[in-house]
DNA sequence: GCGACAG
DNA sequence: ATCTTGTCGC
């Protein structure tokens, strides 16, 4: 398990920024674009469910982007070693998620994880852990706050409000559906907050959860019932 | 000492 | 996460 963290891009010096080309500027602002050939064509979503006390079942769903057609769905289940402790979710769920990930025939360009990315006491949420392990862009989509203060965004779909922790914006609270509780979007690894927010909204169809996460959640439940 | 606390 | 009934609103 990795203990490093990825640092979100610091605000560039406006004076230097102005001397850069448009591409150099984007590279400074968006880590996701540092890889010149990066294109988001395949996006994955993952989620875990539990069978009894000590068995975890994780599911990965692979979707096309921006079409959001389901291309693959895989799962893996095994024993769970640790209890749930806020702030240490990755140690409980990441090992099994990684085993499920290996079963994907095709690998995604980006992974959407249920839980937080850098919006974590040590900037090491489960989405960040997975990104570090796989050296792949990841982002977190959480249903509840872990740390930080915020005010709710407007009631209309697309509204955003910042989640602040120690003077820093660590996530965006995004309304993915009119009059429904918003979700917490944060970068996990190799990407920035703005890109994560845009992608989450682009994946929000008619439900609260963005499609990758919603479908992973759905299939995790389906596979679980098949195992029982 | 008293809350808050991803899944 | 999981256990669970009815209920409010589009």
Asked if the Cβ of residue A49 lies within 7 A of any atom of strand C, the reply is yes
Beta bridge partners of A171: A163
Asked if the Cβ of residue A50 lies within 7 A of any atom of strand C, the reply is yes
| Spatial contact of A228 and A65, defined as CB atoms under 8 Å apart | no
Highest mean pLDDT among A34-48, A98-112, A189-203: A98-112
Q: What nucleotide is nearest A56 when CA is compared to C1'?
A: C1
Asked if the Cβ of residue A103 lies within 7 A of any atom of strand C, the reply is no
- Has A114 been labeled as part of a binding site? yes
Q: What nucleotide is nearest A52 when CA is compared to C1'?
A: C2
**pLDDT digits 0-9 by tens, A50-86:** 999 899 999 999 999 999 999 999 999 999 999 999 9
C-beta neighbour count of A62 within 10 angstroms? 23
Q: Band the pLDDT of A33: cuts 50, 70, 90.
A: very low
Q: Could you give the 3-state DSSP secondary structure of residue A77? A: strand
> pLDDT above 90 covers what percent of chain A?
77
Query: Per residue in A7-17, is it b (16+ CB within 10 Å) or e — as a string?
Result: ebbeeeeeeee
* pTM (predicted TM-score): 0.88
Q: What nucleotide is nearest A57 when CA is compared to C1'?
A: C1
List the nucleotides on chain C closer than 7 A to a protein CB: 1-2, 10
Query: Where are the domains positioned within chain A?
Result: 11-38, 41-227
C-alpha A52/C-alpha A151 separation (Å) is 36
**pLDDT digits 0-9 by tens, A141-153:** 999 999 999 999 9
Q: What nucleotide is nearest A93 when CA is compared to C1'?
A: B7
Among all protein residues, pick the one whose CA is nearest to the C1' atom of C9.
A179
Side-chain half-sphere exposure of A176, counting CA atoms within 13 A = 27
A4 versus A62: which is more confidently predicted? Answer: A62
CATH 3.30.365.10 at A41-227, yes or no: no
List the nucleotides on chain B closer than 7 A to a protein CB: 5-7
């Amino acid at each position: 398990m990795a203990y490093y963290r990825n640092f979100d891009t610091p605000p560039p010096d406006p004076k230097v920024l102005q001397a850069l080309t448009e591409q150099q500027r984007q590279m400074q602002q968006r880590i996701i674009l540092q890889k010149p050939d990066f294109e988001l064509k395949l996006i994955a979503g993952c989620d875990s469910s539990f069978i009894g006390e000590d068995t975890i079942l994780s599911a990965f769903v692979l979707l096309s982007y921006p079409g959001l057609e389901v291309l693959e769905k895989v799962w893996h289940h095994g024993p769970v070693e640790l209890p749930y402790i806020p702030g240490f979710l990755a140690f409980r769920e990441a090992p099994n998620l990684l085993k499920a990930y290996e079963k994907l025939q095709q690998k995604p360009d980006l992974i959407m994880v249920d839980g937080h990315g850098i919006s974590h006491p040590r900037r090491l949420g489960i989405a960040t852990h997975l990104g570090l392990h796989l050296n792949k862009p990841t982002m977190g989509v959480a249903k509840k706050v872990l740390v930080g203060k915020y005010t709710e965004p407007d009631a209309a779909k697309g509204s955003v409000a910042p989640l602040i922790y120690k003077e820093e914006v660590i996530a965006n609270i995004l309304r993915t559906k009119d009059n429904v509780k918003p979700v917490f979007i944060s970068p996990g690894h190799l990407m920035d907050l703005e890109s994560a927010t845009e992608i989450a909204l682009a994946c929000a169809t008619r439900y609260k959860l963005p499609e990758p996460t919603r479908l992973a959640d759905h299939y995790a439940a389906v596979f679980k019932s098949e195992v029982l």
